[in-house]
Structure 1
């Protein structure tokens, strides 16, 4: 049996609604892990499941305690210990409407808030759990050490995922720091990377960027993605990949800008989904084909790479650092550039689940 997929236009980004799933956040790739929301609004994550290590107790060696707040004995005393990793969702997370990956964890918009002040919960090792006190967040994005959310009225709120109160000699360069949005900005879509953020304005669909990126003048877009800007942890001094952004404009053409290595967009490329990462970008064409361009990073040992995106049945793509992940038209997850690690059991493989669909 053969199937033919007709061309579909890129969907103009609608203003998200309170209590509804943010389709831009169903599949979210981060620098070390990714998450997908399934048909029942449960979150499934995979990748390098980094966890904090105590001198006397190492969560990573106790998979039976992952995702739990457990009682452990440390130095002869019993105390609560949180075994949340950046690739393993808490057992009590509940139903989720959106996720956003950051350096050491995830921020989730909850279907039913368990906090009387906020409908966002951030979780993972070293994560700042003190989220902004609003219960009407409808979309969210994550960078290296920050997150940004859009409220129902379009207000953009950003915050650090490592707080001033968590500051140590190790994190003093980023604790409490985050890219601050332009005053008065109201948006309908948002995307983050290391330190840079771009948003689509609610009023007129124009793209606005800050934190190291500047949008092309008067660009209007249906979708946006921001990549690069992540620290290169494999090099001494930790230099950053230059930040870059890509958008699908109102005529479905792909436009990229910034200082990164994925600005050479194939001629006249039109797409229905776009994602950019540290050294490249990928798009889903109007007929469901995956197309990627930029500098090849196949030699990076943290990621494995398929020969090329497979099939003509793709509908959505998400990317970060060196990972690129697609959702097929049957809502299954296809990992094109995936996370890998020789560290076991700290590495979690991709789940065999179907992604949420309307």
Structure 2
């Protein structure tokens, strides 16, 4: 299988740690590591898939942060849950819950979360029924007073716990969201209308019978005794008892809102926060900064910022560590004909590939779903309106009126599901492919000359050209209906509730054959089909002459097939594409750097404007990015140092031995070892700082033109070319070398240098062949813990030594510079992009991309 990305590889990749998973975008080194989460790995409900083949579900907008009166819980990027605050009722008495989750909800006496396999898990020391775990597969859970409600994958709602006011009565119908207050519950129906039950609502006990609002909504939130909703136009409407102070309707428009015991806060379209209600506990205090979620509690209030950190305030203030990153990957990718588009973590659109018709021209607005067609693109805004751009020869780039839950872009036409469940199509109608039938639908897919949709009762209804049977309706069975459909050129495939896939229509390449096994998503292109399995692997079938049916061996959470290429969102948040790449539609754009540096488990790049990006482990804030103008970066174990444009040094992160306490003065270069760092001053002398257990920071006299800090030793090239080393020399790694040398690198227990004839010579430990240098000519050499890499005079890279994590693999392409640390290496390629390889436990080999 050939994989190509920008610069010639067949795989392109993109990282998105959303606003939920924010931070770094990138294509990099090795193919991503296998997913190792428990609880069934990636299941259908683990992500709210936001491409044109899958409807938007409630979990798309369900917060990963939840705050009660004095405690809070949030979902980390890896799916684990962190809870903090005061736990009077054992809401987290036994510590953070085990397993991985996609959503969490906290209550006054217990907490619940939806795990990645769709199970609901609740925890409390009460042992009462409201903290029990219901059976079934769920998209979302909401904790009320002494009751809970969960939204199942089939759209129905199940409630359990205290029901003395009818708050746990299961409503009829299908829904996209459920919220629970103290003694009432509300659900957002698939048509956007609201239904509530329990106290204060008609035909249920209580002093008041409140009137439900009319109109359609896109999100709900329940406080103690009130409810608020975001309308399709972004305005907010609140309702509840006449004595509640917070049901005042703000005048601004919002993306998301959340109600607490006595106040409500909302995130506006620009990321700022507006709060209203009772401000006694600071509930109406509006924090500065840009947020993706806000959650007022009682004495504790928290918000998820756009950088993935959580900010909290209030009289019972407590918060997780500043280096903790929270969120859920919520981007999606959509592959068209010769272009591809994706939603960034900030809900903005990035496109790459052909822009001949403006189809890859990126709008500036925020979107909740994206769909790429032949030469055009459409997106659903957060207020439900649809915007299309690109080719409009058949009217396919026209913006339809009304509000939509989902849109699908086909060859020359589009179809969308309105908020009331009806389907509207526009564009080319030469074969009646834009003549949508009546009735209500859960999802729609626009193909080449036909369209298909899944009705609310689970049947597939198709219209348009039926050549070869591609538009033949599918009824399913009473016990096994359809939940998703994807229309291609000459064939169609549908995903059933039991996970099996049925395909129909013409299949000259086998693309219409029913695949074996069970799946969580299906997506079809012109002559190929791909399915996402429950374990995250992808299986494709049909035409493969451009490798469009040859996916990489990675774990994915979402896939989308274009005409002759396919893209998928990997479980690590990166986008990989495979298949036809004539217009670079399989190659996401790449961020350009001027320099690269690595630490033990993190990496950083200096951008052309002097700012830096860091990625990888951040438990000591070593990957935090300070503002400023820098020329060089280097890192050790959990700390980072940069050289300012002014020649000064700035360090941060782990400072256990003073290694992050920067020296004064001006320097021309710096280098970090595991727990110590060294720099060359402008007068040619050296200064080292940090751990000095073996004398590794005790600098010998003399002038040097280069220095390298290793694990417990340091080496420098003196004026004249001799190498002087000091520190731990247990394996002979500090033996001085006469040279002359051009450059030296100190590794774990070995050292290597480039001699003046451009050959490489190594000394010290050779237990894993890390000191067995290859022949040939090199410009530069860099030593990691137990491996070494050299930059040859033809700008290719040769590595040797330990292969435990692939760190001795030779990367393809040409490089300007390389740097190794620990068990990985990063290099600055001749096209300005960064490529990393080796150990990837914390994402240290996944640099960002420019999206």
Q: Tell me, in whole angstroms, the C-alpha distance in 1 between the residues paired with 2:284 and 2:148.
A: 33
Number of the residue aligned with 1:315: 292
Q: Tell me, in whole angstroms, the C-alpha distance in 1 between the residues paired with 2:152 and 2:213.
A: 26
Tell me, what secondary structure is at the counterpart of 1:18? helix
Q: Paired residue for 1:356, among 308, 319, 327?
A: 327
User: Does the CA contact (< 8 Å) of 1:102 and 1:147 recur in 2?
Assistant: no
Q: Paired residue for 1:206, among 193, 198, 201?
A: 193
Shifted more, 147-156 versus 86-95: the winner is 86-95
Report how far residue 272 of structure 1 moved: 0.9
Matched, 1:246 2:228: yes
Number of the residue aligned with 1:48: 86
Q: Paired residue for 1:130, among 116, 132, 145?
A: 132
Q: Paired residue for 1:94, among 95, 99, 112?
A: 99
User: Does the CA contact (< 8 Å) of 1:226 and 1:245 recur in 2?
Assistant: yes
Q: Paired residue for 2:239, among 254, 257, 270?
A: 257
Shifted more, 123-132 versus 32-41: the winner is 123-132
Q: Tell me, in whole angstroms, the C-alpha distance in 1 between the residues paired with 2:246 and 2:134.
A: 34
Unaligned runs of 5+ in 1: 1-15, 52-84, 114-118, 161-173, 229-242, 299-304, 341-347
Q: Paired residue for 1:191, among 158, 179, 187?
A: 179
Report how far residue 159 of structure 1 moved: 0.5
Report the CA distance shift for 1:29/1:18 in structure 2 as closer, same or farther (over 3 A): same
| Structure 1 segment 57-206 matched on structure 2, within 5 A | 85-88=90-93, 90=95, 93-112=98-117, 119-127=119-127, 128=129, 129-134=131-136, 136-160=137-161, 179-181=167-169, 183-202=171-190, 204-206=191-193
Q: Paired residue for 1:27, among 65, 88, 91?
A: 65
Question: CA RMSD for the aligned pairs?
Answer: 2.7
Report how far residue 33 of structure 1 moved: 1.6
User: Does the CA contact (< 8 Å) of 1:27 and 1:318 recur in 2?
Assistant: yes
Report the CA distance shift for 1:306/1:218 in structure 2 as closer, same or farther (over 3 A): closer
Report how far residue 350 of structure 1 moved: 3.4
Q: Tell me, in whole angstroms, the C-alpha distance in 2 between the residues paired with 1:208 and 1:142.
A: 17
Report how far residue 354 of structure 1 moved: 1.4
| Superposition misfits of 4+ residues, deviation over 4 angstroms | 88-92, 174-178
CA offset digits 1:280-301 (Å, max 9, x no partner):
2111111111111112213xxx
Q: Tell me, in whole angstroms, the C-alpha distance in 2 between the residues paired with 1:220 and 1:338.
A: 37
Q: Tell me, in whole angstroms, the C-alpha distance in 1 between the residues paired with 2:265 and 2:291.
A: 12
User: Does the CA contact (< 8 Å) of 2:159 and 2:170 recur in 1?
Assistant: no
Report the CA distance shift for 1:182/1:226 in structure 2 as closer, same or farther (over 3 A): same
Q: Tell me, in whole angstroms, the C-alpha distance in 2 between the residues paired with 1:148 and 1:215.
A: 22
CA offset digits 1:214-234 (Å, max 9, x no partner):
563423111111112xxxxxx
User: Does the CA contact (< 8 Å) of 1:30 and 1:101 recur in 2?
Assistant: yes
Q: Tell me, in whole angstroms, the C-alpha distance in 1 between the residues paired with 2:112 and 2:306.
A: 26
User: Does the CA contact (< 8 Å) of 1:306 and 1:336 recur in 2?
Assistant: no
User: Does the CA contact (< 8 Å) of 1:44 and 1:89 recur in 2?
Assistant: no
Q: Tell me, in whole angstroms, the C-alpha distance in 2 between the residues paired with 1:276 and 1:91.
A: 24
Report how far residue 177 of structure 1 moved: 7.6
Output the TM-score relative to the length of structure 1: 0.66
Q: Tell me, in whole angstroms, the C-alpha distance in 1 between the residues paired with 2:68 and 2:171.
A: 27
Report the CA distance shift for 1:182/1:87 in structure 2 as closer, same or farther (over 3 A): closer
Report how far residue 36 of structure 1 moved: 0.3
Matched, 1:325 2:326: no
Does 1 or 2 have the higher relative contact order (CA < 8 Å, sep 6+)? 1
Report the CA distance shift for 1:312/1:349 in structure 2 as closer, same or farther (over 3 A): closer
Output the TM-score relative to the length of structure 2: 0.29
User: Does the CA contact (< 8 Å) of 2:248 and 2:276 recur in 1?
Assistant: yes
Q: Tell me, in whole angstroms, the C-alpha distance in 1 between the residues paired with 2:170 and 2:117.
A: 30
User: Does the CA contact (< 8 Å) of 1:208 and 1:215 recur in 2?
Assistant: no
Q: Tell me, in whole angstroms, the C-alpha distance in 2 between the residues paired with 1:276 and 1:257.
A: 12
Tell me which structure has the larger Cα radius of gyration: 2
CA offset digits 1:107-155 (Å, max 9, x no partner):
1222247xxxxx1221121043532221x11100001111100100111
Unaligned runs of 5+ in 2: 1-42, 49-58, 201-209, 330-851
User: Does the CA contact (< 8 Å) of 1:140 and 1:147 recur in 2?
Assistant: yes
Number of the residue aligned with 2:39: none
User: Does the CA contact (< 8 Å) of 1:38 and 1:356 recur in 2?
Assistant: yes
User: Does the CA contact (< 8 Å) of 1:287 and 1:312 recur in 2?
Assistant: no
Report how far residue 49 of structure 1 moved: 2.0
Report the CA distance shift for 1:179/1:326 in structure 2 as closer, same or farther (over 3 A): same
User: Does the CA contact (< 8 Å) of 1:43 and 1:89 recur in 2?
Assistant: no
Tell me, what secondary structure is at the counterpart of 1:24? coil
Report the CA distance shift for 1:218/1:244 in structure 2 as closer, same or farther (over 3 A): same
Report the CA distance shift for 1:194/1:90 in structure 2 as closer, same or farther (over 3 A): same
User: Does the CA contact (< 8 Å) of 2:248 and 2:277 recur in 1?
Assistant: yes
| Structure 1 segment 208-227 matched on structure 2, within 5 A | 208-213=195-200, 214=210, 216-227=212-223
Number of the residue aligned with 1:302: none
Q: Tell me, in whole angstroms, the C-alpha distance in 1 between the residues paired with 2:284 and 2:237.
A: 25
Count of residues paired in the alignment: 262
Q: Tell me, in whole angstroms, the C-alpha distance in 2 between the residues paired with 1:263 and 1:183.
A: 24
User: Does the CA contact (< 8 Å) of 1:280 and 1:296 recur in 2?
Assistant: yes
Q: Paired residue for 1:271, among 230, 248, 254?
A: 254
Number of the residue aligned with 2:741: none
User: Does the CA contact (< 8 Å) of 1:150 and 1:189 recur in 2?
Assistant: yes
Tell me, what secondary structure is at the counterpart of 2:62? helix
Q: Tell me, in whole angstroms, the C-alpha distance in 2 between the residues paired with 1:98 and 1:143.
A: 15
